Amino acid sequence: MQFGISIFPTIGPEDKSGRDHFRDALELARLADELGLHHVKTVEHYFFRYGGYSPDPVTFLAAAAARTRRIRLVTGAVIPAFTHPVKLAGQLAMLDNLCRGRLDVGFGRAFLPDEFAAFEISMDDSHSRFREGVEACRRLWSEQDVVWEGGHHRFGPVTLLPRPFQDPHPGILIATSITPESCAAAGRAGYGLMMVPSINKREKTQEMLALYRRARAEAGHDPETGEVHMSYNCYLAEDGAEARRKGRAYSEVTNRVMTDAVAAWGRTGSADYPGYERVLEKVRGSDFDRSLGENKVLVGSPDEVVEKVRVIREWFGDVTLSLQVISGNVPHEESARTVRLFAEHVMPRFTESVPAGTLSA
């Protein structure tokens, strides 16, 4: 298994200044690099405490690239609907060179109605813009004299500069939360997958994973190489009871923040987002103790978290975990403690690789 950190801020100016947030986030990236974690990741969101401190993941990752030596840098995710593909592909190619090939690009479709409204984009175009944006980036990275004639963009022939460091292009992962067809499409294309197991039943996550792995195999892609990232809120303390007490409090902050961000779903409907009308009640109904019992949050002492990761590996196979160690406005020292305890006491227990696809029945 592989383990990284995900910087998912849930703060506004009243909670923490941008200056302090980015200072601390860069320090966590440096620490994760030093301790041998696999990746540092950050999100693209706007306006709300829910990720809004990170409107451009590439800008943060470029600074993190300059402060780290070996850790991979991952967008989790960039939103092609909000940036012209020529700009997005170019910006990511710069980052791939700045970090010398340590970049993996997660692409997301976005799901917050207020973000689409600000970018003057219809949510009903989200699938088509997403597909077009990912494919345009892939071609701009890997081909010359690209002529693009899509439903949303038409340009070319152009040859993108700079060429990416990685040949033919940085790793591509597809972020999906509840849409099985996205998993199958990612598998067919040979891309990796980014999932959020906390928002679905375990069986649904397994079903999406199976769809993804089957589609990969049927399309002839190596089943061993499809990287699956899964995000988990994570809070560790030497004392399990302390971890649960504090982890519960931060989790409640995160849930309040998320409730604000998804409020617009109470007055929104889109054929591209079936079922999202219920997002608000789902977030409101989330319960820390149940999440903990269902291994949807990694909170506890190191030994307790080892046990949870063991179960997750049983369920989902040899996946890559992204630890959300700051969400809930966790004080920096406590986030750093989580990263240290995880690296020292949990990671070493999962060095052996288990073949992907060996799900327990």
- Chain residues that interact with a second copy, rule: CB under 8 A: 12-13, 17-19, 21-22, 26, 46-49, 52-56, 58-60, 62-67, 82-84, 86-87, 90-91, 93-98, 100, 114, 117-120, 153-156, 158-165
Q: Print the binding letters for residues 265-304 with Ca ion: x by CB under 5 A, - otherwise.
A: -------x--------------------------------
Phi, psi of 52 (to 5 degrees): -65, -20
- CB of 247 vs Ca ion, minimal distance in Å: 27
Q: Is 312 helix (H, G, I), strand (E, B) or coil?
A: helix
Measured at the alpha carbon of residue 213, what is the angle toward residues 210 and 218, in degrees to the nearest 5? 120
Rounded to an integer, what distance in angstroms lies between the CA atom of residue 336 and that of residue 232? 16
Q: Which stretch binds Ca ion (CB under 5 A): 22-30, 118-126, 231-239, 250-258?
A: 118-126
CA distance 40 to 235: 16
Q: How many Å is the Cα radius of gyration of the chain?
A: 19
Minimum distance from CB of 92 to a second copy (Å)? Answer: 9
The one of a second copy, Ca ion, none whose footprint includes residue 272, by CB under 5 to 8 A per kind, is Ca ion
> Which span sits near Ca ion by CB under 5 A: 91-99, 124-132, 172-180, 190-198?
124-132
Q: How many CB atoms lie within 10 A of CB 128?
A: 15
Residue at shortest CB range from Ca ion = 159
Number of residues interacting with Ca ion: please give it, by CB under 5 A. Answer: 4
Helix 202-218, helix 180-189: angle, nearest 10: 30
Q: Does 114 bind Ca ion (CB under 5 A)?
A: no
Chosen from Ca ion, a second copy, none, partner binding at 199 (C-beta under 5 to 8 Å by type):
none
Run of H or E including 334: helix 332-341
Whole-angstrom Cα distance, residue 235 to residue 319? 19
Cα–Cα distance, 324 to 301 (Å, whole number) = 16
List strand residue ranges (DSSP E) for 243-354, in order.
297-300, 320-324
- Among 14, 120, 145, 149, indicate the residue that binds Ca ion (CB under 5 A): 145
For residue 180, what are the CA distances in angstroms to 78, 167, 207, 312? 20, 29, 8, 20
Integer Cα distance of 132 and 117 in angstroms = 20
Q: At its nearest, how many Å lie between Ca ion and the CB of residue 332?
A: 27
Nearest Cα to Cα of residue 229 among 356, 321, 355, 103 = 321
The binder of 154, among Ca ion, a second copy, none, by C-beta within 5 to 8 A per type, is a second copy
Residue 163's binding partner, choosing from a second copy, Ca ion, none, with beta-carbon cut-off 5 to 8 A by kind? a second copy
Which of the choices a second copy, Ca ion, none does residue 18 contact, using the CB cut-off of 5 to 8 A by kind? a second copy
Concatenating the DSSP letter of every residue in 159-178 gives: --SSPPSSSS-SEEEEE-SS
Which of the listed partners (a second copy, Ca ion, none) does 82 bind, with a CB threshold of 5 to 8 Å by partner kind? a second copy
What is the β-pairing status of strands 72-78 and 39-42?
A: parallel
Instruction: Cis check for the bond before 168: say yes or no (omega within 30 of 0).
Output: yes
358 binds Ca ion (CB under 5 A): no
The piece of 91-99, 140-148, 185-193, 342-350 that touches Ca ion (CB under 5 A) is 140-148
Q: Which partner from the list Ca ion, a second copy, none does 22 bind, CB cut-off 5 to 8 Å by kind?
A: a second copy
- Nearer to Ca ion by Cβ, of 54 and 126: the residue is 126
Which residue from 17, 159, 358, 360 is in contact with Ca ion, where contact means CB under 5 A? 159
Q: Are strands 146-149 and 192-195 parallel, antiparallel or unpaired?
A: unpaired
* Alpha-carbon gap, residue 356 to 223, rounded angstroms: 7
Q: Please report whether residue 34 would count as binding Ca ion according to CB under 5 A.
A: no
Nearest approach in angstroms of CB 105 to a second copy is 13
Nearer residue to a second copy within complex by CB, 5 or 341: 5
124 binds Ca ion (CB under 5 A): yes
Give 63 or 210: the residue with its C-beta nearer to Ca ion. 210
- Residues interacting with Ca ion, by CB under 5 A? 124, 145, 159, 272
